[in-house]
Structure 1
Amino acid sequence: MRWSRLYVPTLRQDPADADAVSHRLLLRAGYVRQLMAGHYTLLPLAVRVRTKIVDIIREEMSRIGAQEFSLPAMHPAEIWQKTGRWDVMGDEMFRLRDRKGADIALGMTHEEIFTTLALELRSYRDLPQMWYQFQTKFRDEPRPKSGLIRVREFTMKDAYSFDVDATGLDTAFDAQQAAYVRIFERLGIPAVAVQASSGSMGGSASVEFMCPSTAGEDLIVRCPSCGYAANVEKATSRVEAAADEAGPDAPEQFPTPGVRTIADLADGFGAPADRQIKTLVYLLDDELTLVLMRGDHGLVEQKLLDATGARSVRPAHPEEIREALGALPGSLGAVGVSGPRIVADEALRGRRNMFTGANVDEVHLRGVDVSRDIAVGSWADLREVVAGEPCANCGTGLEVLRTIEVGHIFKLGYKYSEALDLTVLGADGTRVTPIMGSYGIGVERALAAAVETHHDDAGIVWPVSIAPFAVAVVVVGKDEETVAAAERLYAELQAAGVDVILDDRAERPGVKFADVELIGIPFRVTVGSRGVKAGALELTHRATRETESVPLDAVSARVRELVNQ
C-alpha cells in the first residue's frame, strides 16, 4: 500500500469529547469516526486491524474444531419469548415491528437462534458440536462512552457448544478457555481470567477475560499471592469474626433526630458502622424485599439476583417504603417485620448487640440480636469486596483493579435446550436434552483494549500481530537514487509477504515520522539520500524508539526477522 493512496485523516489535536485513551488515539490516528452516540465507522486502518483480530480468533476456533456460521442479526420475538428473555433483556434490546405488525429484535446475542438450528440434530452420534460466527450485535446502551469500549453496535465472535452430557460440556468449556488464553496472548492483550456471574445468560460456571485499564467499567478482585481472581459481582473475601458483647434482653428504642445515614448514627450516637444493620428495600420481580447489610458494607445487586434467582431488581420508591414499613430511609429496620421477604448478608449471621432503624422516623434501636429479633428468610454473600480485605483462600490482602471485559465464557446448562425443546436420541433409545455452552469475544472492544494497553505519548504502539502494517518505508529524499532504493525495498518486502506501507507523500520528514508513530506501525525504515549513499539505512523500533543502522542489502532480511519474532 502507498500512503499517498491511503485514506488516513489524522488529527493534530485531541478531540474534546474523547474520554478514554483508545477513543482519543483511534480518532486522532484516523482509525474511526463517530456517526452518532455508540455507533462508529471503521476507516481503512481499523478494518485492517479488525481483520487481523478476526483471523487470529478464527484460527484458534478452527484449532479446537469449531465450525463457522453466519446467522441473521434480526430475530423474531417468538424465539426470545420462549426462553423468557424477551422481557428480561428490557430496554437494552432494540425492538421493532415489520409492516405486518410482527415483533422483531435486533440480536444482542444468539443463544436462541443457534439452539433453533440445533433442532435438526437427531442423535447422540451428531454430538458434540461446536459452532461459532462473527456477527453484528445491538444493545441499546443508555450511556455509550469511551469510543469502542461501550457502544450500541459491535461485532461479536460468539460460539456455542452442544454436548450429550456434562462431561462433554466440561471438555468443550476447557477447550474454549485454552483457546481464549492463546487468542489474547496473540493479540497482545494481558487478559486476566476471573470467576464471574452468568447474569441473564443463565447457567453455572462463568469466566470473564478482563484487561486492566483505567477506561474499564468492571472491577475485578485479585489475590497477588495465590492467583484467585473474580469479578466484583462474584468475589468473596474473608470476614473476621466479630466479638460482640452481650446486649439487653430485648432491643431498646432511642431518639435519633436528624439521622439520615450510617455516618450520622456513628458520629452522633456511638454506633460504629460495623455494628449497624443497614436495611435496604428492593423489589425483586415486583416482590418487596428487605436486604440487610452490615453498615460498612456495600451491596452488589448482581449477587442479590444470583442468590435469590430473581430476574429483575430495582430499589423501592420512597412511597413504597413508607407504605410497607411506616418510615423513610434513614430509620428503617427489620426487627419485628413479618410481611416482606428478608434476605441478609452472611456477615450479619450470629451478630448481637447491634444498631438498626426502628421503622419510626428519627428513631433507632440498640441491642439487636439478629437471630433473636429478625426473621431472616435466607442468607447469602451479598457484599462488595474492597481492596485490602484478606483473600478467602490464603489471607493475603486483595487487589481491586478496573478492567475492560474482552471475553466471557459460560456453561449454559439446559436453559435454552429445554426452553426450545431440543432433544436427540440417546444411546439407550430414550430422548436426551443436549447441554450447552456459550463463548463470546467483542472484536472492536478487543481492538480498543489493545490500544489501551499499548500506547505512549506519541500515539499507538501496536503489537506486530495486529498492526495495520508491520513496517513503514519512509522516503525522505526526492533524488532518483533514493526513490529507487525505497521502491526496491518496498517491492522486496511485499514479495516476502511482509505487510508494508510506502510513505511516498510530499511531506516533511518530521510530519511523516510523527504520523508513523501516531498510527503505531511497529517498524520504520528511513530511506534518505545520505543513508543510500553510505549503504546503510535507519531501522526504528516503535515500541522502544531505538534505531539501528542496517546495511542496505540486509534491510529486507532484518525486517522479516523482526516481524517473524
Structure 2
Amino acid sequence: MPGFFIQPRNTLPPSACPPCPVRDRNTSVQCKVISSLSNRQRPTMRTSQFLLATQKETPSDAVVVSHQLMLRAGMIRKLASGLYTWLPMGLRVLRKVEAIVREEMNAAGALEILMPGIQPAELWQESGRWEQYGPELMRLVDRHNREFCLGPTHEEVITDLARNELNSYKQLPINMYQIQTKFRDEIRPRFGLMRGREFVMKDAYSFHADNASLQVTYDRMHLAYSNVFSRLGLKFRPVEADNGSIGGAGSHEFHVLAESGEDDIVFSNGSDYAANIEKAEAVPREKARAAATEELRLVDTPDAKTIAQLVEGFGLPIEKTVKTLVVHAAEEGKLIALIIRGDHELNEIKASQQELVVSPLVMASEAELRDAIGAGAGSLGPLNLPLPCIIDRSVELMSDFTVGANIDDKHYFGVNWERDLPVPTVADLRNVVAGDPSPDGQGTLEIKRGIEVGHIFQLGTKYSEAMKCQVLGENGKPVNLAMGCYGIGVSRVVAAAIEQNSDENGIIWNDTLAPFQIALIPLRYETDAVREATDKLYAELTAAGFEVLLDDRDKKTSPGIKFADMELIGIPHRIVVSDRGLAEGNLEYKSRTESQPQAIAVADVLSFIQGRVKR
C-alpha cells in the first residue's frame, strides 16, 4: 500500500529522542528509552517481569487437586469447558515434560515429524473408523463441502504417509513420532487437564516387515516409556491392557498411581503381574465345586427384584446368588444370557469379546426380555431359560445357589449343576476383586487407582491392510506392514504429577519438573545490602545452571505472602536474603518438603545448593 509504514518493534521515530548510538554512532548521547528497555530485558527471571498469577481461593468448579492447584498456582486458565490456556508458569513445566519425552524417543531411535491436526475424512473412511469412532471425533466441513476431522490420533495419516514414502523392506523398521495438540469432543470434560477437549500428546508409529521386528521395537518403546516416567520422578506401573477402538493385538498402559485416578489397576503382591481392570484375568478362589447339600425348591420372592433385596429378605450369602444378564447375540435378532455371581461385576470388555456376543455390548430391553422369556429382569436365571448361556468361571464352581425362576416374583433355591441343569459354556466374564489369586499363580491381587499417562499398542496389519500400505519384501512380493503405535499424554502427565505430589500448601514439584528450581526471596530488596547480595547470588546460581525465580515484589507484598506463593507454586528450594541474616553472615534455606528453615553461611550457599538440587 503506497505510503504505508510499519514501525519497527522497540524503535521510535527520529523526532522522539535526541541522537543516540542506535541512530548516530558519532554521538555519545545515550537514549533513555533504549536504556530503559535494556534494563527491563536483562536476562533475570523476576516476579516483577513475570506473569505471577496466583489465587488465594479455590475455584468452585475445580474438583480434583491438580485442577485446583494449577488454577491457584497460575499455571493454566480456563477458556471454555475442557479448554485451557497455558500460562508461563505452567508452560515451563509442560516444556520440561516434552523435553524428557523427546530425549527418550530420540534415544530409542524414533524420528520426529509433525503432521497436520486437521485430517481428511477419506482416510478415516478408508480405515473404517469414520463411523466407528463415535461422537468424540470432532468433525467439520470446509467451504467446498469436504469433510474433515480434528485429529484425536494419527494412525490414518501416518499410514498414508508410509504407503507413499516406503516401498522396500530395506527401509524398515522405521519409527516416527510427534508432539502435538489433539482434540476429542468429550461429552463431559472434567478434572481440568485430566479429561479435556484439547490436549498435548506424544504419538509415535512404527512400521515393520514382520511381527518379530514389531516386537523388538515394542519392547524398546516399553523401556523408553519406563525411562520417561522414572526420569519424571513418578510412581507408576505398566499394566496389560485392552486395545479398545485403536485395534490390534497386545498393548500396555502406563499408570501414575493416585487415589483420584479414573482407572482401577490390578497387580500381584507376589510377582510382576499387572493389568488394568478390563484386561485382568479373573481366577476363582475355589479349587473345586462343593457337593450338593440342598434340595431344589421354588420360592415366592415378591419383594426381591435385586440381588440386595434377595440377600436381605431371605438371609442368603451373596456369594450363593447369581445375576443373569441378557444381551444381544452376535447373530442378529438373537439374545444370549451372561451369568455371574451376585457379588461380582460384569466386565463388558470381556463379555463383548465372546464369539457369540455382539460387540459393543448391548443389553436387552425389558420388552425384549418379556417377549423372549416372559419375565422381568429381576426374576431371570439359567434354569429352564430358553436362551443360550455363558457362565463365569466362578459360577461353574457354585453349589446350592439361588437363581431367578424366569417367572415373575419367583426364585429357585438349592440349585446345583449337572443335577438340576447342565453346565453351559464357561468363560472369564467378570472384573477381578482384591484377594483373587494372581493369574500367574504367584500371590494374590491388589487393586489401586491410577491415571493413564501412556499406552503402547501392537496394531499388527489392521491399518496397513485396510489402507493397502505395502512394501516389497525380501522375496520381491508385496507385504502388508506390521504397525505399532505409542502414545503419552504429555499435558496429562503434568496434572498426574500434581495428583501424586501435593499437600495442604500447594504443589510439591521435584527438581526435574519444577518451573523453577529455586525461589530467591529478598526481604527489603530496596536496601543496598540486600539488593547487592541478592543480585550477586542470583548471578552465581544462574551461572551454575540453576533455574531461579527472584521475588522482587516491593514491601507492599509481605514475606508471608511471598513464602505462601512459592509453596503454592511448588518451587523445591527457597533461599531468603535479609538484613539480619547478612549481618550474621547467613542466608535462610528451606526445602519445599521440610517444615523448618536452616541457616547457611553466605560463602557456602552455592556448594550447599549444588548438593541439594538433583540435576
TM-score bracket, normalised by the shorter chain, equals: over 0.9
Distance between the aligned counterparts of 1:499 and 1:151, measured in 2? 30
Q: How far apart are 1:465 and its partner, in Å?
A: 0.7
Distance between the aligned counterparts of 2:538 and 2:256, measured in 1? 36
Q: 2:495 aligns with which of 435, 448, 463?
A: 448
Deviations 1:297-335 (A, max 9, x none): 111112222344854223332223222322211011344
Match of 2:130 in 1: 86
Matches within 5 A, 1:303-322: 303-308=350-355, 310-322=358-370
Q: Give the partner amino acid of 1:163.
A: H
Q: How far apart are 1:369 and its partner, in Å?
A: 4.9
Distance between the aligned counterparts of 1:445 and 1:325, measured in 2? 47
Distance between the aligned counterparts of 1:417 and 1:374, measured in 2? 47
Match of 2:278 in 1: 233
Match of 2:99 in 1: 55
3-state SS of paired residue (2:228): helix
Report if the CA contact (8 A) 2:111-2:177 is conserved.
yes
1:554 aligns with 2:604: yes
Distance between the aligned counterparts of 2:139 and 2:288, measured in 1? 51
Matches within 5 A, 1:55-74: 55-74=99-118
Point out the more displaced range, 252-261 or 54-63.
252-261
Q: 1:238 to 1:164 in 2, by over 3 A?
A: same
Distance between the aligned counterparts of 1:162 and 1:194, measured in 2? 24
Match of 1:325 in 2: 373
Q: 2:203 aligns with which of 155, 158, 178?
A: 158
Report if the CA contact (8 A) 1:253-1:364 is conserved.
yes
Deviations 1:54-86 (A, max 9, x none): 000000000011011111122222222222222
Q: How far apart are 1:469 and its partner, in Å?
A: 0.7
Point out the more displaced range, 316-325 or 160-169.
316-325
Distance between the aligned counterparts of 1:378 and 1:428, measured in 2? 45
1:544 aligns with 2:590: no
Match of 1:40 in 2: 84
Distance between the aligned counterparts of 2:128 and 2:265, measured in 1? 29
Q: 1:45 to 1:404 in 2, by over 3 A?
A: same
Q: Give the partner amino acid of 2:391.
A: A
Match of 1:24 in 2: 68
Distance between the aligned counterparts of 1:374 and 1:430, measured in 2? 55
Q: How far apart are 1:497 and its partner, in Å?
A: 2.6
Q: 1:398 to 1:259 in 2, by over 3 A?
A: same
3-state SS of paired residue (2:242): coil
Distance between the aligned counterparts of 1:95 and 1:359, measured in 2? 46
Identity of aligned residues (%): 44
Match of 2:216 in 1: 171
Q: How far apart are 1:271 and its partner, in Å?
A: 5.0
Match of 1:190 in 2: 235
Distance between the aligned counterparts of 2:540 and 2:246, measured in 1? 51
Distance between the aligned counterparts of 2:424 and 2:125, measured in 1? 31
Point out the more displaced range, 39-48 or 266-275.
266-275
Higher Rg of the two aligned structures: 2
Point out the more displaced range, 302-311 or 141-150.
302-311
Distance between the aligned counterparts of 1:324 and 1:100, measured in 2? 50
Distance between the aligned counterparts of 2:130 and 2:329, measured in 1? 18
Q: 1:386 to 1:564 in 2, by over 3 A?
A: closer
Match of 2:576 in 1: 526
Question: TM-score scaled by structure 2?
Answer: 0.86
3-state SS of paired residue (2:181): strand
Q: How far apart are 1:51 and its partner, in Å?
A: 0.3
Q: Give the partner amino acid of 1:537.
A: L
Q: 1:388 aligns with which of 435, 439, 463?
A: 435
Q: Give the partner amino acid of 1:469.
A: F
Report if the CA contact (8 A) 1:146-1:215 is conserved.
no
Report if the CA contact (8 A) 2:268-2:445 is conserved.
yes
Q: How far apart are 1:432 and its partner, in Å?
A: 1.3
Q: Give the partner amino acid of 1:387.
A: A
Point out the more displaced range, 457-466 or 44-53.
457-466
Report if the CA contact (8 A) 1:75-1:105 is conserved.
yes
Deviations 1:135-166 (A, max 9, x none): 21222222222211121210111111111111
1:9 aligns with 2:53: yes
Q: 1:124 aligns with which of 145, 152, 169?
A: 169
Q: How far apart are 1:527 and its partner, in Å?
A: 1.2
Q: 1:281 to 1:212 in 2, by over 3 A?
A: same
Q: 1:243 aligns with which of 289, 299, 318?
A: 289
Q: 1:80 to 1:325 in 2, by over 3 A?
A: farther
Point out the more displaced range, 378-387 or 368-377.
368-377
Q: 1:424 aligns with which of 471, 478, 485?
A: 471
Distance between the aligned counterparts of 1:318 and 1:276, measured in 2? 21
Report if the CA contact (8 A) 2:352-2:361 is conserved.
yes
Distance between the aligned counterparts of 2:410 and 2:147, measured in 1? 52
Distance between the aligned counterparts of 1:100 and 1:367, measured in 2? 69
3-state SS of paired residue (1:47): helix
1:481 aligns with 2:533: no
Q: How far apart are 1:440 and its partner, in Å?
A: 0.8
Q: How far apart are 1:366 and its partner, in Å?
A: 4.1
Match of 1:410 in 2: 457
Deviations 1:246-294 (A, max 9, x none): 4899x76443222201233334446543333311122367764322112
Matches within 5 A, 1:250-289: 253-269=298-314, 272-283=317-328, 288-289=335-336
Unaligned runs of 5+ in 1: none
Distance between the aligned counterparts of 1:35 and 1:167, measured in 2? 46
Q: 1:262 to 1:121 in 2, by over 3 A?
A: same
Aligned residues: 563
3-state SS of paired residue (1:91): coil
Question: TM-score scaled by structure 1?
Answer: 0.94
Unaligned runs of 5+ in 2: 1-44
Q: How far apart are 1:227 and its partner, in Å?
A: 3.0
Q: Give the partner amino acid of 2:291.
A: E
Distance between the aligned counterparts of 2:425 and 2:178, measured in 1? 42
Point out the more displaced range, 199-208 or 446-455.
199-208
Q: 1:64 to 1:470 in 2, by over 3 A?
A: same
3-state SS of paired residue (2:487): strand
Distance between the aligned counterparts of 2:374 and 2:422, measured in 1? 18
Report if the CA contact (8 A) 1:8-1:31 is conserved.
no
Q: 1:103 aligns with which of 111, 134, 147?
A: 147
